Amino acid sequence: MNLIAAAIAIGLSALGAGIGNGLIVSRTVEGTARQPELQGKLQTLMFIGIALVEALPIIGVVIAFIVLGGE
């Protein structure tokens, strides 16, 4: 049962990060299309947002290791 819990934790965290990254990048492209002069600022904010969203799968992997460590 622990293996299933670990797989679900990793899978859902990866799914959430993928959706989050897609939303962040799509909004950045939309903002750049509307105001091209803000491309640098938008791109910087996009990279910060992606870095924060990518913390989610890392936390999911840590939780999976904790769950598997209980065996």
How many domains are there within the chain? 1
Whether the predicted model's global pTM rises above the 0.85 cut: no
Which residue pairs, CB below 8 angstroms and at least 24 apart, start in 61-70? 61/9, 61/10, 61/13, 63/6, 63/9, 64/5, 64/6, 64/7, 64/9, 64/10, 65/6, 67/2, 67/5, 67/6, 67/9, 68/2, 68/3, 68/6, 70/2
Which residues constitute the domain of residue 61? Answer: 1-69
pLDDT in tens, 23-64: 999 999 999 999 999 999 999 999 999 999 999 899 989 988
pLDDT of residue 60: 87
- CATH number for 36: 1.20.20.10
